[in-house]
Homo-oligomer: A and B are copies of this chain.
Amino acid sequence: MAQRNLLQFIILGLLHQTPMTGYELTKAFDSDIGEFWSAQHSQIYPQLQKLETAGALTHTEEVTGEKLARKRYAITDDGLDTLNTWLAAPTAASTNGKDEFALKLYFIPDASDSRLKPMLEAQQVEHTTKRTHLEHQLATKFPDGAPTTGLGHYLILQHAVLREHEYCDWLASALKHCH
């Protein structure tokens, strides 16, 4: 296996919240959950077909305007079982943390290397932008702090903010070490 096919569970989880089309699912990965998983429509549409064949989903056709039919998928009882089994299973601490920039730093051997400072500064711009954006999202979507319903949404957004916070702090401290 190349991965453990978590995509199926994410789709089930999203459809459990509310029935959606493939297009809407694709867009979901552009928002908050995109911070922790990504998927393109070319992967989502085939996966929807597989899940439906397996009996985890059903779809109904909706017609917008004159002709355009879209498929709105809903989770079945079987699908809900699959989702709950996944949620109940123990989760290992994520080991997938792939970070290209960290690797590059690893290969800059010396503190006096002239490439070090500009690299760190460029990365600082990237992550500061991302951090600001995420903080704005959090403040906009949850102006009153943690909600009772939708707590998971709040928590992962907060996680993303804290993650970027850590990254910015780390870059700042790294810059101090570089001559």
Q: Which A residues lie at the B interface, using CB under 8 A? A: 2, 6, 9-10, 13, 16-17, 32-33, 35-38, 83, 86-88, 90-112, 115-116, 119, 122-123, 126-127, 129-130, 146-156, 158-159, 162-163, 165-167, 169-170, 173-174, 177-178
Contact = CB atoms under 8 A, between A and B. Distances in A.
Majority SS of interface residues in chain A?
A: helix
A116 B155 CA distance: 12
A134 B123 CA distance: 24
Contacts of A166: 162-163, 165-166
A115 B91 CA distance: 13
A105 B17 CA distance: 13
Most B-side CB within 10 Å, residue of A110, A151, A169: A151
